[in-house]
Structure formats: structure tokens, C-alpha cells
Structure 1
Amino acid sequence: MQERVVKKAVLASLALVGAIGMLAGCASPSTSSGNEPSPTPVVEQTLTVFAAASLKDTFTELASEFEKSHPGVTVSLNFAGSADLVSQVTEGAPADVVAFADEKNMAKLSDAKLIDGTPELFASNTLEIAVPRGNPAGITSFQDLTKPEAKVVICAAQVPCGSATVKIEQATGITLTPVSEESAVTDVLGKVSSGEADAGLVYVTDVKAAGEAVDGVTFPEASGAVNKYPIGVVKASTLPDLAAEFAKLVTGADGQKILAAAGFAKP
């Protein structure tokens, strides 16, 4: 009789433990799910940056760095001659950030009240003569660009690299007779690297970026026409805070390190 009582007591205890376990199991999911925070959705945004053609390599790298630190943000880059970019913004092309190769073109947008706040200088650049590998025309100076047989390519006067060229011509009294005038410094470099031209006036950074495609010829007169690069936030930007953060990246330590590695000097 005593053995039966013990068995009944054991069975009753096991049943009670099972019931408690079932209740705990049922309650557990609702309790834990109530304490877990909901994941924050990533908002997809596109930041549009207009930049001078000579900034292509550096700004492509900077855009990649910006995207890594801003999940959901895509940086859309538009590279062209500074004068062309000014025309695009003036005509209403959507842009959040603009960066030019000279202060004159930025002033056009500032004067038109299209820039938010005051643009900031972030780099400077100097002209250099680019020649095909081996320098077949034997160009060694700015004066050599006037050789009758030399096919020389320069930027158009309204483009920053062209404006710098004009400044050097005026200072030296030397007038060039180019076979073509291009709307972007990258177009000048392309004609030299392809062998279409014997020489072209580009920036120090362009010669460096071209690697073995061209040789560079420095000339002292270039120091009298240094271009300074400004960056600004477009007033019509739909993402002004992000635009300001991108500009801060360019002017900050990380951006300056990337620019210096490409051959840009301080403004």
C-alpha cells in the first residue's frame, strides 16, 4: 500500500513539472519577442556630386569611402569641365555638391545665389606639359610648344586649365597655336596619350594618374597660374545634411590624404 502511495506522489510531481514547463514554453516566445528591438530599416538615398574632370580618380575613391560609412547612400558622380558643370547647374540639373577646378566658376554659382553658404577651398593644382611616351617632338619647355611642326592641344579658355594657359601666355608673351581646344582636361590628356598630339597642357595630377601612358615636362612659368579648387553645397539640394558631410570628408584629414596621394597640393 505504501509503495502505491509513493508511486502516485511521484507521478503527480512529474505531471506538475510538465505542466509548468508547458506554461513556460508558451509564455517564453511572447516575452522574448516583446523585448527584442525592431531592426532599423536602411533608407536608400542618392547623393549627386558634380566635379571637375581632373577630380575623377580622387572623387571616385572618396565616393566609395563615403558609401562605406553611410549605409543605403549611393554617390552619383558627374565629371565634366567646370564651365560645363556650371551651365548644367544653372539650367536646373539636380546636384547636391559641386567641386570645381577654379574659384571663378564657383563664383558664378555663388553670385547667382545657387550655393548654400560659403564654398571652401580644398586643393590646388599646377599645369604640366604632357607628351607621348619618349617625347618624339622633343618638347622641353613652354616655348617649345610654339614649334611649327608640333601638334599642341590645350583646354578652351573658359575651362580652368585653359584659363591658366591664357594667364601663362600673357605673362610670357608667348602665344600658342593649338590644333584643338578641349572642354575638359581629360580630353587633352586623351589626345596626347593616343598619339594624336605631340603635347598638351594638363595638370600635374593628370600626368601622374596617366602612369606610363605619357611623360611629363614641368616648366617654371606654371607656378604663376596655380588653380585652387572650391567645393560647395547646392542650395536646391534635397539632401543638404548629407551634402555637407561629403564636403566635410573632402576637406577633412581623410580626403586631404587621398588628394595628396594623387598629387594635389594644399589650396
Structure 2
Amino acid sequence: QDTECVLPQAALSESFRQLLDETSNLSRQARASWDEVGITEFITSGQPVAAYIKQRFSDFIVNEIDQNGTVVRLTSCLNPNPIEEKPLCEDRPSDEEILDQLKSLIDEHDGFVEFVKSEDSKEFTLGDVPEKDKRSLIHSLLKQYQAVSLFSQTFCNDGLKTVKICKGRPPSGNKFQGRKFSGDRPFLQMALHQENVETMKAINAVSQIVRLPVGRFAYAGNKDRRGVTTQLVTAFKLDAEQLIEALPRLR
């Protein structure tokens, strides 16, 4: 016959206390000492203060240093080197003078004049215009003509340089497309400031709003998401005005 052994309450408390002491001793033995981890001295002799260090992402601040030793910071969202717009020429020739110049340049001048004055005709194609200077002058004069909105394009068919003239506005698209970059302007360097977002995700967002492939952007390394980081990014054939106009759409 089984019998139950009931210990007094005092015996239970003593046994539990011994168990706690043994557990505490094991914990102290398993914990590394300051000397074992390489800490031999403290700056002050006061009592330690319990605190959380580097808990928020804003506690991690990382700034690149460029080749000149300058800390990279985002100081402005304005273009430091804006392109000066050329003033409109006040002595622009009249439409009649422009039309006379075009007639002297175009062999099919009778058909061209009828095309300009007709409301039904939408496009007109010039024959072979092999001289580049002549084609450039035709394009320039067509842009200055104001009575009718005209735009033109050059096509090469079987070795012949033909000029197609259309009424209306050019096809819609990126207004910065086709812009010529001179000197060192093909490369645009900027400071990319990121808060709680990794570099690759930030670059993807910028490439989408400026409509350029990600491969056009170069940077020194991918910064982690958890932090506030600022680094240099170089973009190929990205216009500063284009980037500034797109910034409000960047989340």
C-alpha cells in the first residue's frame, strides 16, 4: 500500500531556498568576468547606471567621408549650379520672314507653303537634304514659326536624309530625354540621406521617379536599414533640375 509523505512547510521553504542558491551560484559561475572580456578599469568609480544603448534607428548615425576628408551631409535640396536660361531674342524674325527663308531652303517650297496654310494637312516630308547645316537651319526656323505649331525630325532611308514636318506638339514623353550634356555634366553627384531605409531601396525609389534604370546610379556600399545614413551617390546622365522637380514625389 502506497503512502504519501508530506513534508512540513518549513522543510519545503528550506529546500526551495537551497535550490535558488544553487541556481544563482551556477549563474554566477557561467557569467564572464570583466577581466575575461578585456575590461580592466572603469572611467569612474560610481555606481553603474542601467540604460538602453542604440535602441532606436535614429541612434545609429552614419556619414560617409569623401576623398578630401569632408564628412558627407545633406545641406540643401537646391541646385548649386543652375543652368541659366537664355533670354528670348527680341529681334526674332517675323513669320513672313521665316517662311521666306524656309522657301529658299526647301526645294518643294510650293508644296510646303500649301501644307502650312492648309488646315487638313498634318505632315509634310522634304526630299533628300544631305547637308547637316541646312537641316539644322530648317529645324531651327520651324521652331521659331508661331502662326502654326510645327516640329520636325530627320530620318535616314536608303542613305537619303529626309526631314518630316508635322503640325502640333511633339509626342509626349520625358522632356529631359535627349538633352545634351557637355563637359562633366554627364555625371551628377548628390548626397543621399536615408532614415530607416536601406540604400538599395532608396536608390530604387529615386530611379522610379526620375525614370532611369538602377544601373545608372553608383555608390560605395549598401547601408543598413536601421539607422540614419548619408552617403554620396553618382548618377549617369541625370539632370539636376530633373531630380529636384521629382523630389516632392519621393516618399
Q: With the length of structure 1 as denominator, give the TM-score of the two structures.
A: 0.23
The structure that has the greater radius of gyration is 2
Higher helix share: 1
Taking CA–CA contacts closer than 8 Å with sequence separation of 6 or more, which of the two structures ends up with the larger relative contact order? 1
TM-score normalised over the length of structure 2: 0.24
